[in-house]
Amino acid sequence: MSSATAAIPPSRGGLARRATDPPTDPAGVPVENPPSVTVTVTSGTTEAVRRAHLSAVRQVIADGGPRIVFQPQLSLSRLVVDGYEALARFPEGPIVGGTEEWFARARALGLGAALEAKALLQALHRRHERPTGTLLAVNLSPGVLASPAVAAALPDDLTGIEIELTEHEWAPGGVSRLRRQLDQLRERGARVAIDDVGVAHSGLRRVMELAPDRIKLDKHLVQGVAASTAQTALIRAVVDFAEHIDATVCAEGVENVDDLEALAELDVGHAQGWMIGLPEPDFHGADPIAVASGRESLTRMLVGRQRPTPTPLPEARITYDATAGVEELLVQLTRVTSLVELGALAGTCAGVLGGDHLMVSVLTEDGTAIRAVPAPIDPRPSRLFTLADFPITRRCLETRAVIPIYLGSDGDVSEWQVLSRLGYESALLVPVISRDQVIGLLECYRKGLVPWSRRQIRSARTIAAMLGPVLDVTLTL
pLDDT tens for each residue of 194-236 = 987 755 444 667 777 888 999 999 898 899 999 988 888 888 8
C-alpha span between 137 and 139 (Å, rounded): 7
Handedness of CA 14, 15, 19, 23 (dihedral sign): positive
pLDDT > 70? residue 39: no
C-alpha span between 285 and 262 (Å, rounded): 22
Residue-averaged pLDDT of the chain = 78
The overall pTM is greater than 0.85: no
Task: List phi, psi (to 5°) of 126.
Answer: -100, 5
pLDDT > 90? residue 170: no
Q: What is the pLDDT of residue 93?
A: 81
Cα 290 to Cα 4, 64, 252, 293, 463, distances in angstroms: 23, 35, 14, 5, 33
Q: Residues 131, 136, 140, CA angle at the centre, nearest 5°?
A: 165
Q: Residues 160, 161, 166, CA angle at the centre, nearest 5°?
A: 150
Q: What is the pLDDT of residue 41?
A: 44
- Give the rounded distance of the alpha carbon of 183 from its chain centre: 26
Inter-residue contact 258 to 224 (CB < 8 Å): no
Locate the DSSP E strands across 106-156.
135-140
Inter-residue contact 310 to 341 (CB < 8 Å): yes
Q: What is the pLDDT of residue 372?
A: 82
Inter-residue contact 322 to 349 (CB < 8 Å): no
Domains delineated in the chain = 47-301 (3.20.20.450), 326-476 (3.30.450.40)
Helix (H/G/I), strand (E/B), else coil: 390: coil
Inter-residue contact 162 to 139 (CB < 8 Å): no
pLDDT tens for each residue of 427-449 = 889 898 988 899 889 888 888 87
Dump the DSSP string for 248-279: EEEE----SHHHHHHHHHTT--EE-STTT---
C-alpha span between 263 and 261 (Å, rounded): 5
C-alpha span between 380 and 127 (Å, rounded): 71
Q: pLDDT confidence of 265, banded at 50, 70, 90?
A: confident
Average pLDDT rounded to a whole number, residues 62-91: 94
Cβ-Cβ contacts under 8 Å for 83 (sequence gap 6 or more): 72, 73, 134, 135, 136, 137, 162, 270
